[in-house]
Amino acid sequence: MEYVDNSQKRNLIWIALLVIVATVIPFAISSFWLRIVTGVLMWIGLAQSWNILAGYMGYVSFGHGAFFGLGAYVTAIAMSLGVHFIISALIAGVFTAAFAAIIGYPTLRLQGAYFAIATWAFAEAIRQIVLVLPFTGGAYGMRLPPMLNENFFYYMMLLTIIGTVAIAYYLMHKAKFGLKVKAIREEEIAANVLGLDVTRIKISVFALSAFFPGILGGIYAYWITYIHPDSVLAPVIADQMVVMTMLGGLGTIAGPIIGAVVLFMGNRLLWVFWGDTSFYLVLVGLAVALVILFLPSGLVSLVPRLGKKDKPKVDDQPNSSVTEHTK
């Protein structure tokens, strides 16, 4: 017990230090680098949201970028009607979560490659629809009122990422809900036999994983002041979520954080010093290949404590105990 208490104290100290450092960053670096750090935070949130669905429940989605784009457009439309930005971003998050719940009911009946293809098709359909709708600006896109305050967007991203990581950690590692989700990942049929409401749990996870990209999309739209279907609904957004999470470590809290920092910072640094990011794709492919060969659990496995995954220890418990924990 003393070891556990000491470990928790150390964790709290590290968290406090990270929060202090994150709070003072805007006052210690230039506005150029602050934009880059803000971008890192955004991709951490996107990768973590994808990890909630794929890493913990085992459902790989190639259409998660659609929720980011929907959040951007919902925020832009709400602000054009006179709604305050904060409220608009929250509306975007709720809208994308509700929309995910609606489309999740039929698509989550699929598994494996079928589910991945269905989500990709859904994202492409959304992009094509937005291109022809008059109130989204169609192919001309939408403009938002400019706000020249980099610190504001940094702190908005930071607060959203803290919320994303905290909720993911609590639900998936501390709450009983996480055991239910992981039971579906390990053996969905067995989880159903145990009496879990598998359909409700899967829809809840899908909606939760869409909520945060919706908010982040809203913040991003206000940040860059102009959105277009080819920018906020591009397939590459979901692709980068997948690569960042897989590179960092699937099914862990620290994995998406590490993957997002490494890939996004690598991209920006190549652009800063070389002026061309095409070589970035070669480096990403090489990095992913090396990680798959030598670190199949991702970069987070280099720090075993961070890469630890919670799994139900069913071998050490009687069946009645397992059932009690999962209900």
Residue 2 inside a domain? The answer is no
Range of weakest confidence among 171-185, 216-230, 274-288, 310-324? 310-324
Of the two residues 159 and 2, the one the predictor is more confident about is 159
- Ramachandran assignment for 225, one of left (phi > 0), alpha (psi -120 to 50 degrees), beta (any other): left
Mean pLDDT of 52-61: 94
Residue 1 inside a domain? The answer is no
Is beta strand 226-227 parallel, antiparallel or unpaired with respect to 142-143?
antiparallel
Angle made by CA atoms 181, 187, 189, in degrees to the nearest 5 = 100
pLDDT at residue 170, rounded to an integer = 93
Residue 3 inside a domain? The answer is no
Task: Give the pLDDT band (50/70/90) at residue 106.
Answer: very high
Residue 255 inside a domain? The answer is yes
Average of per-residue pLDDT values in the chain = 86
Mean pLDDT of 6-28: 80
pLDDT at residue 11, rounded to an integer = 67
Tokens of 182: 């992981």
- Domains contained in the chain, number: 1
Residue 215 inside a domain? The answer is yes
- pLDDT tens per residue across span 266-308: 887 777 676 655 666 777 778 778 877 888 788 888 876 655 5
Q: Does the pLDDT at position 320 exceed 90?
A: no
Residue 43 inside a domain? The answer is yes
Residue 35 inside a domain? The answer is yes
- pLDDT tens per residue across span 206-232: 999 999 999 999 999 999 999 999 899
Q: Residue 25 is part of which domain span?
A: 8-326
Tokens of 302: 């280099």
Residue 76 inside a domain? The answer is yes
Q: What DSSP designation does 143 have?
A: E
Question: What are φ and ψ of residue 62, in 5° steps?
Answer: -105, 15
pLDDT at residue 291, rounded to an integer = 79
Could you tell me if 309 and 251 are in contact, meaning their C-beta atoms sit under 8 angstroms apart? yes
CATH number of the domain at 91, please. Answer: 1.10.3470
